[in-house]
Chain A
Amino acid sequence: MILAADIGNGNIKLFLNSNHTPYRLYQPNLGIKRTLKELIEKLIHNRPDLKDITVKAIGLTGAGRHYANSFLPGTVKTEILCQYKAILELNPEANSILEIGKEDSKIIILRDKIIDYFSLNTICSGGVGNYIENICFRFNLTLEEFDSLALQSEKPVNIGSKCAVFGLSSALNYLQKGEDIKNIVAGVIKAVARNCLSMVKGRQIPSPCIFTGGGALLKSFKKAFEEELGFEVIIPENPIFTGAYGASLYAKEDKTLSLGEILSMCYT
């Protein structure tokens, strides 16, 4: 059995591969030790049959990988490499990868199946999932409601894409003018998509492009990217877990641990 964790700033994602049967679990990151502990406890509770199976390899990725590695032995790889590995495994034809997380967004451009260029959002939060969640919170919408409203809009408003704080003010400004909420949320999603794509600084994003991360769960996001790019983007199955899946592919099989032992390491 291989256990992999993608420790993002927003959520921690667990991916378990037992005899080629995957099992996936995630929850918001409320401190790495605490969240990992809760996730593993939940895992043992949901799948008691896995409790005594030996974990041969552990893979760690995401922004908190080094801290997690301080109490959990495993193979540590950056999220860029893990996404790359996973996507090539899932879709060998891929030429570019878009990943929108809660606090981070990335674009990876491949050439001859090798990473040619990558970009992570740097100084601004205008291109990440958190922006959308803030808008949902302010407009009292669930993500599903946001998504379906955005899809209904035919005339998205123009919202600044540089800064999440000013973007919210701009969205509220449209509300004051009596604009239909569906056009505002569609404007927001377009702004976020534009911001992400501006990270490549004029480079071409080649097709086929794989869209992954939590952002890929929103159909309106897919639509916004396709409108900006001019071609269809492909969403893999379980897009939230591609990073963790990549980490499981890198994990070296050199361990003999039980889930119980791994759990006790999170208590140290």
Chain B
Amino acid sequence: MPNKIGFPRIGSYTEIIAKLFEELGTEVVLSSPYNEKAFKTAIATSPEMVCLPLKYTLADYIDILEKSNENITLIGYKTSSGRCRFHCYYLSQTQILKNLGYKFKGIYPIRSGLGTLFDIMAITGANLGEILFAFNRAYKRIKKLEEELYPKTGDIKIGLIGEIWSICDPRANLNIIKKLQNLGCYVKNSLCLSHFINDGFKMLFNKKRKLLRKRARKIFPELLGGHAINSLENFISFAERGFDGIILIRPLSCSPEVFIETFINSLAEEYKMPLFIQNCDEISSETNLENRIECFIESIRLKK
């Protein structure tokens, strides 16, 4: 019998990741795009000031466990830099799910970088060759999807920086990307899944990227988790490539992104770059967001 797995949704990439696991011989239980009951339970049982990714991924786990029997392995994500709270979330989520009375094999945290390959080997039982082929196919699908998600049209160039999950999951960012595109913006996401996968290789071989990382490290020399350092380097990159505005999307109270806020603000002043910060939380209001980004884009148009 194949291993049965479930994993939290991450926007439109969800189906591609599911297909990857299926191709490697596992049975995948997909969570529903939005299950209000599961989400309410997740909010009620999550620690009070925790960030949105814990709540949404927990809701996805609850939804999956409601659909499936005991014999399932849940998959969690673990960041390599390790200073973001997110890398411990699978532990508290396991405890919360147990407290709720669910029975499952456990949450298996997948590391980033090369660790991903070994973790997937352990979960699926597939060999390295099979995984690399499946990864290659998945990568092509991801690239194709991203071409559809981010068409290169629009007269205002907006760069997105921040935390990858909240940028990629429209539930978290209240569909900000579509909203910006509807306002006539060309949106460039610095943290697409493909960029995330490429980042390690680029750091090795791409001189420009290496230099940017160096400059970001100069601004903030301490280790930070999440995508805080990426946010700094991507800000510089967007500003120097002549973008019209930058939007920082992060979960409310996200510690790495909160740390670099001061530096991002100083960069915005230095480059005279319009900056908009969107904090994602379950209390965020969609109409409020619409109003704010419309103000943001209008003020950029005024400048042009």
Contact B295 A81 (CB under 8 A): yes
Contact B298 A80 (CB under 8 A): yes
Q: Tell whether A120 pairs with B302 under 8 Å between CB atoms, given A63-B287, A202-B265, A203-B269.
A: no
Shortest C-beta distance, B125 to chain A (Å), equals 45
Which of the candidate stretches A14-22, A111-119, A177-185 sits at the interface with the other chain? A111-119
Q: Tell whether A80 pairs with B265 under 8 Å between CB atoms, given A114-B303, A115-B303.
A: no
Chain B residues within an 8 Å CB radius of A201: 261-262, 265
Q: Tell whether A116 pairs with B295 under 8 Å between CB atoms, given A123-B252, A202-B265.
A: no
Is residue A148 within 8 Å, beta carbon to beta carbon, of the partner chain? no
Shortest C-beta distance, A200 to chain B (Å), equals 9
Chain B residues within an 8 Å CB radius of A81: 295, 298-299, 302
B135-162 contacts to A (CB < 8 Å): none
Is residue A77 within 8 Å, beta carbon to beta carbon, of the partner chain? yes
Q: Tell whether A79 pairs with B303 under 8 Å between CB atoms, given A123-B279, A203-B265.
A: no
Chain A residues within an 8 Å CB radius of B294: 78
Contact B298 A78 (CB under 8 A): yes
Is residue B208 within 8 Å, beta carbon to beta carbon, of the partner chain? no
Is residue A122 within 8 Å, beta carbon to beta carbon, of the partner chain? yes
Chain A residues within an 8 Å CB radius of B291: 63, 78, 120
Chain A residues within an 8 Å CB radius of B298: 77-78, 80-81
List 22 A-B pairs, Cβ < 8 Å. Answer: A63-B291, A77-B298, A78-B291, A78-B294, A78-B298, A84-B302, A114-B303, A115-B299, A115-B302, A116-B272, A117-B274, A118-B295, A118-B296, A118-B299, A120-B291, A120-B295, A122-B279, A122-B288, A122-B292, A123-B279, A123-B281, A202-B265
Contact A120 B292 (CB under 8 A): yes
Q: Chain B 272-304, CB within 8 Å of chain A: the 1/0 string?
A: 101001010101100110011011101100110
Nearest opposing residue in chain B for A200, CB measure: B265
Total B residues in contact with A, Cβ cutoff 8 Å: 24
Chain A residues within an 8 Å CB radius of B288: 122
Chain B residues within an 8 Å CB radius of A202: 262, 265
Chain A residues within an 8 Å CB radius of B295: 78-81, 118, 120
Interface of A toward B, CB cutoff 8 Å: 63, 77-81, 84, 111, 114-118, 120, 122-123, 201-203
Nearest opposing residue in chain B for A203, CB measure: B269
Contact A80 B299 (CB under 8 A): yes
Shortest C-beta distance, A55 to chain B (Å), equals 24
Shortest C-beta distance, B267 to chain A (Å), equals 12
Complex Cα–Cα for A11 and B293 (A): 22
Contact with A114, one of B269, B284, B302 (Cβ below 8 angstroms):
B302
Complex Cα–Cα for A123 and B285 (A): 9
Nearest opposing residue in chain B for A201, CB measure: B265
Shortest C-beta distance, A208 to chain B (Å), equals 20
Shortest C-beta distance, B234 to chain A (Å), equals 19
Chain B residues within an 8 Å CB radius of A114: 302-303
Do most interface residues of chain B lie in helix, strand or loop, or is the interface mixed? helix
Across the A-B interface, the 7 shortest Cβ-Cβ residue pairs: A80-B295, A78-B295, A115-B299, A201-B265, A78-B298, A81-B298, A78-B294
Shortest C-beta distance, B247 to chain A (Å), equals 13
Chain A residues within an 8 Å CB radius of B303: 114-115
B96-127 contacts to A (CB < 8 Å): none
Complex Cα–Cα for A202 and B302 (A): 24
Chain A residues within an 8 Å CB radius of B302: 81, 84, 114-115
Shortest C-beta distance, B129 to chain A (Å), equals 49
Shortest C-beta distance, A196 to chain B (Å), equals 16
Shortest C-beta distance, B159 to chain A (Å), equals 17
Complex Cα–Cα for A251 and B252 (A): 38
Knowing that A77-B298, A202-B265 are A-B contacts, what are 9 other residue pairs whose CB atoms are under 8 Å apart, sorted by A's residue number?
A63-B287, A80-B299, A81-B298, A115-B302, A118-B299, A122-B279, A123-B252, A123-B279, A123-B284
Shortest C-beta distance, A201 to chain B (Å), equals 5
Complex Cα–Cα for A115 and B300 (A): 8
Chain A residues within an 8 Å CB radius of B252: 123
Complex Cα–Cα for A80 and B296 (A): 9
Complex Cα–Cα for A115 and B297 (A): 12
Shortest C-beta distance, A75 to chain B (Å), equals 12
Complex Cα–Cα for A120 and B294 (A): 12
Shortest C-beta distance, B55 to chain A (Å), equals 16
Chain B residues within an 8 Å CB radius of A111: 272
Complex Cα–Cα for A117 and B246 (A): 12
Complex Cα–Cα for A79 and B296 (A): 11
Shortest C-beta distance, B145 to chain A (Å), equals 31
Nearest opposing residue in chain A for B290, CB measure: A66
Nearest opposing residue in chain A for B297, CB measure: A78
Complex Cα–Cα for A203 and B275 (A): 13
Shortest C-beta distance, B173 to chain A (Å), equals 14
Complex Cα–Cα for A77 and B272 (A): 24
From B252, B272, B283, B294, residue with most partner A Cβ within 10 Å: B294
Nearest opposing residue in chain B for A118, CB measure: B299
Complex Cα–Cα for A22 and B268 (A): 40
Complex Cα–Cα for A115 and B245 (A): 13
Complex Cα–Cα for A78 and B291 (A): 8
Complex Cα–Cα for A201 and B279 (A): 15
Complex Cα–Cα for A115 and B276 (A): 14
Chain B residues within an 8 Å CB radius of A118: 295-296, 299
